[in-house]
Structure 1
Amino acid sequence: MDVTYAEVGATREGPLPAGYLHVTRRARLTAGFAEAADALAHWRPQRGAGLRVRTDAERAGLGVEFASGIGAGPLRLWVPCKIVWIEDRPGRFGFGFGTLPGHVATGEEAFLLSTDAEGAVWFEVRAFSRPAKWWTKLGAPVARLMQARVTDGYVAAMRGL
């Protein structure tokens, strides 16, 4: 299935595309790189932020489709995504995923781990998005607050390793 936006890979490097809400967050972790990379590959940021994850893949990989769910019981909202890029090399690990048809937004979000010259491990979230449904356009201020809360949850989950 194809993603719902043209700027595939824009969260990997460089400036985020115009015309979208941008989110960037960077935090130093206390966990080692290998532990953090394993947690990231096994959906720890999403689950730690209170989201449910549906996927047939045990770990993140290029082309893997998954859905994140927020809410409770029958009120849970599932949003489909696809991993569109992955980076896995010494001192850098992460991936970017894009929205699929049926998602309430359109855009891309990325999680990236890196180490600096002193060996510190950093976790970065980069995203660009805009509402895709009439009701998310109407509720854009609430959607932005929810996105900020979920992003804080991603960071807290990785810091809690």
Structure 2
Amino acid sequence: MVFFSWARPSSEDWKSCIDKSDSFNYEAKYRGASASPLSSLEQDKGLSKDGFFFNHKRVLVGSGVDAYEKGKTALQSWRHFGLDWAFVDPKTRTQVGEKFCVCVKEFLPWVMMPLKVVYVEEKKGKEQQPLSSFSFGSGTLQGHLLAGEERFSIELDEKNQVWYEILSFSKPADILSFVGYPYVRLRQKYFAQQSANAVLKHLNASQSPE
């Protein structure tokens, strides 16, 4: 089952999508795998053997603790999905077990794709090691066009730089995505760039005037 809507999905539309999607549509052994660095995933022969492809984007979005905290808030309020053609209900909680729906405009119809938060991780920096990070990963549910997992993270590194990162592994889960997978891959890369721009816009707008 694939969830379509000819108009921008209403709350009733995406709530119905979530209610009808109970189980994950990818292998249990890969549940939570997106928490690992890209280098580790690329060495996992099982992922490539099972047909998964990676999508990765890491962008410098600011510097300092204040920018990091604002970036974390941006993820928790789904500002990284603040796009004209893609959105998530901003009230969705970033906590393990939370189900939500990504709504994406594709040509004429909107597509609603159900997911569930698989993990949430946060690391607090120390004086001797000023490294902090916040991330969460979500897995695809039955009814999603793809099968796999995606992680969004914000990180303050040892150089006081703030990075926004998207990492996912996925493969077609429906005949539509199988036939159009080259297009799907391009859309994933386009979303990664647009999402990074949305986070940058939020951080810049949040800065106090001089």
User: Which residue matches 1:135?
Assistant: 176
Asked if the contact 2:92–2:100 (Cα under 8 Å) also holds between the matched residues in 1, the reply is no
User: Which residue matches 1:12?
Assistant: 35
Q: Cα deviations across residues 56-107 of structure 1 (Å, max 9, x unaligned)?
A: x443111111101111797111000111011123111010001000000000
Partner amino acid, structure 2, of 1:46? F
Alignment of 1:8-87 (within 5 A): 8-13=31-36, 14-16=40-42, 17-18=47-48, 19-30=51-62, 32-48=67-83, 50-54=85-89, 57-71=91-105, 75-87=109-121
Which of the two has greater strand per residue?
1
Identity among equivalent positions (%) equals 28
Asked if the contact 2:92–2:98 (Cα under 8 Å) also holds between the matched residues in 1, the reply is no
Instruction: Give the number of the structure whose alpha-carbon radius of gyration is greater.
Output: 2
Distance 1:133 1:73, change over 3 A: closer
Which of the two has greater helix per residue?
2
1:105 is aligned to 2:143: no
1:122 is aligned to 2:163: yes
The 3-state SS of whatever aligns with 2:35 is coil
CA distance in 2, matches of 1:41, 1:23: 21
The 3-state SS of whatever aligns with 2:94 is coil
CA distance in 1, matches of 2:153, 2:109: 31
Residue ranges of structure 2 left out of the alignment (5+ in a row): 1-21, 125-131, 204-210
Asked if the contact 2:35–2:137 (Cα under 8 Å) also holds between the matched residues in 1, the reply is yes
Residue ranges of structure 1 left out of the alignment (5+ in a row): none
- TM-score, normalised with respect to structure 2: 0.71
The 3-state SS of whatever aligns with 2:188 is helix
CA distance in 2, matches of 1:68, 1:9: 19
Which residue of 171, 185, 192 corresponds with 1:144? 185
Partner amino acid, structure 1, of 2:71? A
Q: Cα RMSD (Å) of the superposition?
A: 2.0
Asked if the contact 1:49–1:153 (Cα under 8 Å) also holds between the matched residues in 2, the reply is no
- TM-score, normalised with respect to structure 1: 0.91
> How far does residue 52 in structure 1 lie from its aligned partner after superposition?
2.1
